[in-house]
Amino acid sequence: MSVSCMSPEQKYELITRNLQEVLGREEILKILNERDLKLYWGTAPTGKPHIGYFVPMSKIADFLTAGVEVTILLADIHAFLDNMKAPLDLVKFRTKYYEVLIKALLESIGVPIEKLKFIIGSSYQLTEKYSMDNYRLCATVTEHDAKKAGAEVVKQVESALLSGLLYPGLQALDEEYLGVDAQFGGVDQRKIFVFAEKYLPHLGYKKRAHLMNKMVPGLAGSKMSSSDPDSKIDLLDDADVVSRKLKKAFCEEGNIDDNGILSFVESVLFPLRSLNGKTPSFLIKRDEKWGGNVNYTSYQSLKDDFRDKKVHPGDLKAAATEAINNLLEPIRKRWKDDPELQKLTKQAYPEIEKIVKKKESKKHNQAPSGNGGKSIDVSRLDIRVAKIIKAELHENNPKSYVSTVDVGDASGNPRTVVSGLASYIPLEQMQGRYVLAVCNLKPSKFQGIESCAMLLAASSSDDKTIELLDPPAGSEIGETVIFEGYGSVERDGEILNPKNKIFEKVAENFKINEEGIATFKDIPFKTSKGDVTVKTLKEGTIR
């Protein structure tokens, strides 16, 4: 159906389908009865875009089909302010990279980009009027409200940078300066949206409507993140890389609640295949002895069959792999055929080139005999964000705790971990807290109880104070801790032999710096939400 033949109610239904929440339904319907809706979606050019970007793009396709005037904001200033995830010298290249890649993505799914408007944030956020409005907002907003608004999006630490507190206010002002009726984003933006509804009227500006997508789990079962290589597929990943990552993806038989593959099929593949009144289809290919091929024309039918274990995870992964590679192939081809785009990628993400060079260098500097020719560095350790479910005193050793710890294993089963922390950390402070765990050490028995991981803790120089490492707020259980310039170990891969003392040799370069940040050779321990820290220690060792 053409947009000219749609009623306001039909436009609203298409605009809001598959969304998790809508704030301002009545206002949207009122506008649709008078004219087409004006809406914007913003993205900060930080990490390399991944297939999770197909989720908002599939909704943008719906918006355009419903006649919405869509603006895509390339929020370069926001990228810099959010813990300097995009240094100033890289922002301009990453902004261009995002624009070109998003256009290529939209073209790959058949969205006519001439209907879109792209705006770079710094084109108006550095003007005198915008700056004055920002100051006016700062004179109205409390620190509590600013911190609360950014809790799900901006890195949260005890001594927050002022830049992170400014972030929600700037995003609220964008609604006024882009001249829109509504803003679209993930449900993780909800607190910022509510903040905008509260504070824009204080400046004499109208309250806007807000449309929210649900968050799509990553391949490891957590939120899809640009900084966790195990949780996402880059838009430029080769077909074999896509296949390998999906084979490793968490996809428990019958599990429909924490399943990134099913969520992607629901949020992207079915909506895209139903555009313009088409009947969607998703083909599961399998041998006749397993029931033969099944073509699903509704997501609910596929979901029900997977829940009832009529569709095997391996068959779902194979079908998703084929579908995702079909989506990515036009984007990959465009990059492969254009040297200027390849050059832009290197300018936007020069650290990727550094990693390649380091890997090449390591080939000429192999580790000592007994380590299989592998280098000894932090890339050998499987360090993850974990959560202590329960901790209790070791029945045979009052100086040790026995903890049940969720480390995000694909099986869903927690691990038992023994730690000698009872003399330093009260038992009540162990309960329910997020920690860092080394998950690929060979299990060892301590006073009769097998420990299947190691909790990382920092120690003062006199060993009188010991504190567990704290991942930043919002980090996901099972999320891989990353180190810039180093790769990450394969999940369920190498188990380190204690005879080779790999952990001990790597840990010699672990320390807490003077800012209380955990580091390896001065490179911060990081999750998708920022740096790993300790509560009070300034300088110390990690063990």
By mean pLDDT, which of 67-81, 218-232, 410-424, 475-489 is the weakest?
218-232
* Domain assignment of residue 223, yes or no: no
DSSP string, 426-485: -GGGTTT-EEEEE--BPPEEETTEEE-SEE-EEE-TTSS-EEE-BPPTTPPTTPBPB-TT
* Domain assignment of residue 388, yes or no: yes
In a 3-state reduction of DSSP, which class is residue 257?
Answer: coil
Tokens 């679209």 identify what position?
A: 184
Whether residue 439 contacts residue 453, with contact meaning beta carbons closer than 8 Å, is answered with yes
Q: What is the rounded average pLDDT of the residues 106-111?
A: 84
* Domain assignment of residue 354, yes or no: no
* Domain assignment of residue 71, yes or no: yes
CA 162 to chain centre: 23
What pTM does this model have? 0.63
By mean pLDDT, which of 135-144, 164-173, 266-275 is the weakest?
266-275
Same domain, 391 and 430: yes
Same domain, 281 and 199: no
The CATH number assigned to the domain holding 291 equals 1.10.240.10
* Domain assignment of residue 67, yes or no: yes
* Domain assignment of residue 445, yes or no: yes
CA–CA gap between residue 9 and residue 90 (Å, rounded):
44
Tokens 């239904």 identify what position?
A: 13
Query: What local confidence, expressed as pLDDT, does residue 362 receive?
Result: 45
Same domain, 428 and 494: yes
Same domain, 335 and 402: no
CB within 8 Å of 67: residues ≥ 6 apart: 3, 6, 11, 36, 37
CA–CA gap between residue 257 and residue 269 (Å, rounded):
18
244 confidence band (pLDDT: 50, 70, 90):
confident
Q: What is the rounded average pLDDT of the residues 535-541?
A: 89
Q: What is the rounded average pLDDT of the residues 266-283?
A: 81
Tokens in use for 154? 């901006």
Tokens in use for 88? 């100033």
Half-sphere exposure of 398 (CA within 13 A, CB side): 0
Same domain, 50 and 126: yes
Q: Which range, 204-218, 221-235, 262-276, has the best average confidence (pLDDT)? A: 204-218
282 confidence band (pLDDT: 50, 70, 90):
very high
Q: What is the rounded average pLDDT of the residues 290-316?
A: 93
- How far CA 389 is from CA of 146, 392, 404, 469, in Å, comes to 31, 11, 5, 16
Same domain, 199 and 281: no
Tokens in use for 464? 């009188």
CB contact burial 24-45 (16+ within 10 A = b; e otherwise): beebbeebbeeeebbbbbbbbb
Residue 425 is classified by DSSP as: S
- How far CA 58 is from CA of 89, 104, 262, 348, 503, in Å, comes to 32, 13, 16, 26, 45
* Domain assignment of residue 353, yes or no: no
CB within 8 Å of 401: residues ≥ 6 apart: 391, 392, 393, 394, 418, 419, 421, 422, 427, 430
The CATH number assigned to the domain holding 536 equals 2.40.50.140
- The candidate with the shortest Cα–Cα distance to 310, out of 253, 247, 266, is 253
* Domain assignment of residue 225, yes or no: no
Q: Where are the beta strands (DSSP E) in 327-413?
A: 383-394, 397-406
490 confidence band (pLDDT: 50, 70, 90):
confident
Same domain, 159 and 308: no
The number of distinct structural domains making up the chain is 3
Range of the structural domain that residue 250 is part of? 239-348
- How far CA 143 is from CA of 80, 154, 194, 399, 427, in Å, comes to 20, 14, 16, 42, 33
In a 3-state reduction of DSSP, which class is residue 294?
Answer: strand
User: Crossing angle of helices 162-177/128-138, nearest 10°?
Assistant: 120
Same domain, 287 and 404: no
Q: What is the rounded average pLDDT of the residues 120-143?
A: 96
Same domain, 344 and 387: no
Query: What local confidence, expressed as pLDDT, does residue 374 receive?
Result: 66
CA–CA gap between residue 74 and residue 44 (Å, rounded):
6
Q: What is the rounded average pLDDT of the residues 503-517?
A: 91
Same domain, 514 and 421: yes
Q: Which residues pair with 41 in a beta bridge?
A: 72, 184
The CATH number assigned to the domain holding 66 equals 3.40.50.620
Q: How does pLDDT run across 404-457, given as a tens digit for each residue?
A: 999 998 888 899 999 999 999 999 999 999 999 999 999 988 888 999 999 999
Whether residue 472 contacts residue 218, with contact meaning beta carbons closer than 8 Å, is answered with no
Q: How does pLDDT run across 36-52, given as a tens digit for each residue?
A: 999 999 999 988 888 88
CA–CA gap between residue 314 and residue 239 (Å, rounded):
17
Burial level of 6, CB count in 10 A (0-12/13-18/19+)? middle
Same domain, 103 and 194: yes
